[in-house]
């Protein structure tokens, strides 16, 4: 039997892909135009990244713009990224009326190419496909071709360039070290900030969340839909979540796990919900 882990980032810690990928959050918006919609697809070369394209919507054609990506959990106010994208578009396309906004999560590999192959070296019982870095429609198909060929005993020549374990990964050592140093800094910073923030009995404003200290433990507290919810702020690998005010979620700044306001998992690599705590600070299921 062969298992394919196609879960954004592999949910199993074996293989250490959580340390070989950087989780990125980016934003998009759709607009109704007063005039003709630009045709084609365009991507900026500078930063912050901007993309422009058109898309059919019923009998209409909408303008889509995207960009403002950042590492998951490391933006103070993600909602500001959405507003900035909308403002940028309306300045350049006068009369554009926003109709929808959303965001997406992608994973950037340390050596810039996706990982398609075995979870661990030399073992084809578990295969992975990850690190698509916003090229999911293309690389999803490529992964299906490469992995199905592998499972059926064949080999696709070009797939060797995307192997999960090869000498080409030496090119990613520098970026990987830099990314993991920043992960360590985020872990230390998250714990330090939480321990310096005493518990506040006043609930956060609607749609807002914060991390504070409960006994000697970090606690995530938010107010959503008229309810104030409290959960442990620590993730499975020791990260401290931050509040995402654009999507009302708890995001881990280490490896990109995301949780709903009630602590339930939205995106991996975490596989367990954020636990609640008793009044004495001990976790409970």
For the chain, domains (ranges, CATH) are 3-20+110-165 (no CATH), 22-109 (3.30.70), 188-284 (2.102.10.10)
Block residue for tokens 């103070």: 76
Helix, strand, coil percentages, rounded to 5, for the chain: 25, 35, 40
Q: What are the 10-residue block averages of pLDDT along the chain, 285 residues in total?
A: 87 80 94 91 90 92 95 93 96 94 91 89 90 89 92 85 76 56 62 72 93 87 94 84 95 91 90 74 55
Residue 172: predicted pLDDT: 52
Can you tell me the distance from the alpha carbon of 183 to that of 181, in angstroms, rounded to the nearest whole number? 5
Residue 89: predicted pLDDT: 96
Alpha carbon 144 to its chain centroid, in Å, reads 22
Contacts of 117 (CB under 8 A, 6+ apart): 127, 128, 146, 147, 150, 159, 162, 163, 164, 165
Return the exposure string of 227-262: e unless at least 16 CB atoms fall within 10 Å of the residue's CB, then b: eebbbbbbbbbebbbbbbbbbbbbbbbbbbbbbbbe
pTM of this structure? 0.81
Give the three-state DSSP class for 77. coil
Closest CA to 65 of 33, 34, 107: 33
Closest CA to 163 of 126, 198, 186, 129: 129
Residue 265: predicted pLDDT: 93
């Amino acid at each position: 039997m062969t298992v394919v882990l196609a879960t954004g980032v592999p949910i199993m810690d074996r293989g250490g892909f959580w340390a070989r990928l950087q989780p990125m959050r980016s934003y998009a918006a759709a607009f109704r135009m007063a005039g003709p919609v630009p045709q084609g697809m365009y991507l900026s070369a500078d930063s912050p990244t901007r993309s422009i394209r058109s898309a059919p919507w019923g009998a209409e054609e909408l303008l889509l713009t995207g960009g403002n990506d950042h590492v998951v959990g490391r933006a103070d106010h993600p909602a500001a990224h959405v507003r900035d994208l909308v403002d940028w578009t309306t300045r350049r396309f006068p009369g554009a009326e926003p109709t929808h906004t959303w965001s997406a999560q992608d994973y950037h590999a340390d050596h810039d190419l996706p990982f398609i192959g075995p979870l661990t070296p030399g073992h084809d019982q578990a295969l992975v496909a990850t690190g698509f870095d916003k090229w999911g429609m293309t690389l999803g198909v490529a992964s299906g071709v490469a992995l199905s060929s592998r499972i059926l005993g064949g080999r696709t020549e070009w797939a060797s360039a995307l192997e999960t374990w090869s000498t080409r990964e030496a090119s990613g050592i520098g970026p990987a070290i830099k990314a993991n140093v920043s992960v360590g800094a985020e872990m230390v910073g998250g714990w330090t900030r939480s321990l310096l923030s005493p518990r506040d009995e006043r609930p956060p404003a609607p749609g807002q969340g914060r991390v504070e200290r409960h006994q000697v433990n970090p606690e995530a507290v938010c107010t959503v839909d008229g309810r104030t919810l409290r959960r442990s702020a620590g993730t499975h690998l020791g990260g401290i979540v931050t509040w995402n005010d654009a999507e009302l979620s708890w995001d881990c700044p280490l490896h990109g796990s995301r949780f709903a306001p009630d602590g339930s998992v939205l995106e991996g690599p975490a596989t367990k919900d954020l636990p609640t705590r008793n009044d004495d600070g001990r976790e409970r299921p």
